[in-house]
């Protein structure tokens, strides 16, 4: 048989390469290079004023011996524990409600989603006013139930909780849309069969909706974990990490080290600590969520 000669390059390949080149160049310059250079910086001492000095693992050792860094890490973990599960539960409940046959559901969807696209600056200004201890509407409303004024933003006990409350309010609408997309991908035949078998609404949610939403839940969980470890705007504008370090999180401390104390090597080490924590949590969740929907296919 005669051998069929094939060109190594398709006629469209040069044009595709030209079209993709700008994105590839931008990715290398603003994504790949900073990631690699940050890892390189984490092994050096550098303050932008003196020559860079290689210190090996000293930045990582100093970080784990730094009480402030460990406090910020613990605050980040507490914030994540408060925000991620509550936001996911609220978002799932809203998605189930918005997927049912109710009037004006498109209007409600828009109302729940608007906070997620609103600027953190505007949100912080409004919520700082609402949570003001002296004249805030939140304390005024609670006073009708005999509750004493709560120092939402000026107390070490309440500052991180206050930031978490606002973050939950802002993030629930976005996660609701993700869950809503997952719900609309579930075949109605499952629910019809369950109704014929006499399953209640709660049983349908427990044994059909939740298991079949596992891929969406995994995606929402991972993105929520990453987002919670990256929280900065809310902390910076509402409490600035105070009082003391009661609401300071890792990104806030990273920012201070990089742009206030000019310890770029140490800040890079903090960044990679966050990266390894998020990666470990993602791998663990992938391991434990694998095969959760096999029984339905």
Q: What is the pLDDT of residues 175-185, one digit of tens each?
A: 999 999 999 88
**pLDDT for 167 beyond 60:** yes
Q: Indicate whether 75 belongs to any domain.
A: yes
Tell me the average pLDDT across 14-25.
Answer: 88
Q: Indicate whether 49 belongs to any domain.
A: no
Q: Cα(165)–Cα(148) distance, rounded to whole angstroms? A: 19
Sole residue written with tokens 């402030």: 68
Tell me the average pLDDT across 139-158.
Answer: 93
- Reading the block at residue 27, the tokens are 């990715």
Confidence of residue 1 (pLDDT cuts 50, 70, 90): very low
Tell me the average pLDDT across 6-21.
Answer: 73
Tell me the average pLDDT across 211-219.
Answer: 91
Q: Indicate whether 205 belongs to any domain.
A: yes
Q: Indicate whether 47 belongs to any domain.
A: no
Tell me the average pLDDT across 91-113.
Answer: 90
Burial class (CB in 10 A: 0-12, 13-18, 19+), 205: middle
Percentage of the chain lying above the pLDDT 70 cut: 93
Q: Indicate whether 13 belongs to any domain.
A: no
Q: Cα(269)–Cα(94) distance, rounded to whole angstroms? A: 39
For 290, half-sphere exposure in the C-beta direction (CA atoms, 13 angstrom radius) is 6
Q: What pLDDT does 7 receive?
A: 54
Q: Cα(59)–Cα(79) distance, rounded to whole angstroms? A: 25
**DSSP class of 132:** -
Tell me the average pLDDT across 265-269.
Answer: 95
- Reading the block at residue 167, the tokens are 């973050």
Q: Cα(279)–Cα(226) distance, rounded to whole angstroms? A: 9
Backbone angles phi, psi at 53, to 5 degrees: -125, 125
Nearest to 256 by CA among 276, 230, 236: 236
Q: What pLDDT does 293 receive?
A: 44
Answer with the residue of higher pLDDT: 104 or 78. 78
Q: Cα(252)–Cα(236) distance, rounded to whole angstroms? A: 7
CATH number at residue 209: 1.10.3720.10
Domain count, the chain: 1
- Reading the block at residue 185, the tokens are 């991908």
Q: Is 45 helix (H, G, I), strand (E, B) or coil?
A: strand
**pLDDT for 3 beyond 80:** no
Q: What pLDDT does 99 receive?
A: 87
Q: What pLDDT does 253 receive?
A: 96
**pLDDT for 151 beyond 60:** yes
Tell me the average pLDDT across 2-15.
Answer: 60
| Lowest mean per-residue pLDDT among 48-62, 195-209, 274-288 | 274-288
User: Distances from the Cα of 91 to the Cαs of 85, 164, 181, in angstroms?
Assistant: 10, 15, 12
Q: What is the pLDDT of residues 121-131, one digit of tens each?
A: 999 999 999 99
Q: Indicate whether 48 belongs to any domain.
A: no
Confidence of residue 284 (pLDDT cuts 50, 70, 90): confident
Q: Indicate whether 50 belongs to any domain.
A: no
The mean predicted confidence, pLDDT, of the chain is: 89
Give yes or no for a contact between 150 and 158, defined as CB atoms under 8 angstroms apart.
yes
Q: Indicate whether 44 belongs to any domain.
A: no
* Winning range, highest mean pLDDT, from 17-21, 100-104, 163-167, 211-215: 163-167
Q: Cα(150)–Cα(141) distance, rounded to whole angstroms? A: 11
Give yes or no for a contact between 249 and 277, defined as CB atoms under 8 angstroms apart.
no
pTM: 0.87
**pLDDT for 297 beyond 60:** no
Q: What pLDDT does 283 receive?
A: 86
Confidence of residue 101 (pLDDT cuts 50, 70, 90): confident
Tell me the average pLDDT across 261-283.
Answer: 92
Confidence of residue 237 (pLDDT cuts 50, 70, 90): very high
The range of the structural domain enclosing residue 147 comes to 56-289
Strands (E), 133-228: none
């Amino acid at each position: 048989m005669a051998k069929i000669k094939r060109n190594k390059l398709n006629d469209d390949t040069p044009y595709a390469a030209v079209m993709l080149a700008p994105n590839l160049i931008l990715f290398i310059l603003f994504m790949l290079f900073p990631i690699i250079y940050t890892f390189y910086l984490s092994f050096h001492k550098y303050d932008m004023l003196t020559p860079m000095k290689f210190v090996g693992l000293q930045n990582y050792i100093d970080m784990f011996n730094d009480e402030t860094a460990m406090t910020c890490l613990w605050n980040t973990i507490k914030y994540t524990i408060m925000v991620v599960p509550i936001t996911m539960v609220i978002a799932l409940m809203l998605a189930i409600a918005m997927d049912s046959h109710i009037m004006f559901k498109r209007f409600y969807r828009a109302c729940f989603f608007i906070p997620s696209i609103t600027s953190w600056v505007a949100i912080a200004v409004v919520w700082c006013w609402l949570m003001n201890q002296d004249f805030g509407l939140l304390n005024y409303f609670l006073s009708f139930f005999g509750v004493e004024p709560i120092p939402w933003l000026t107390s070490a006990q309440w500052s991180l909780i206050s930031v978490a409350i606002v973050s939950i309010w802002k993030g629930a609408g976005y996660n609701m849309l993700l869950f809503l997309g997952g719900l609309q991908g579930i075949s109605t035949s499952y629910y019809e069969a369950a109704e014929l078998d006499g399953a209640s609404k709660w049983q349908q949610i427990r044994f059909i909706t939740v298991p079949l939403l596992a891929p969406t839940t995994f995606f929402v969980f991972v993105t929520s974990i990453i987002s919670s470890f990256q929280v900065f705007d809310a902390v910076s504008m509402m409490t600035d990490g105070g009082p003391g370090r009661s609401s300071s999180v890792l990104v806030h401390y990273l920012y201070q080290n990089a742009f206030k104390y000019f310890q770029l090597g140490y800040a890079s080490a903090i960044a990679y600590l966050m990266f390894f924590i998020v990666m470990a949590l993602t791998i663990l969740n992938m391991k434990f969520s694998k095969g959760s929907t096999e029984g339905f296919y």
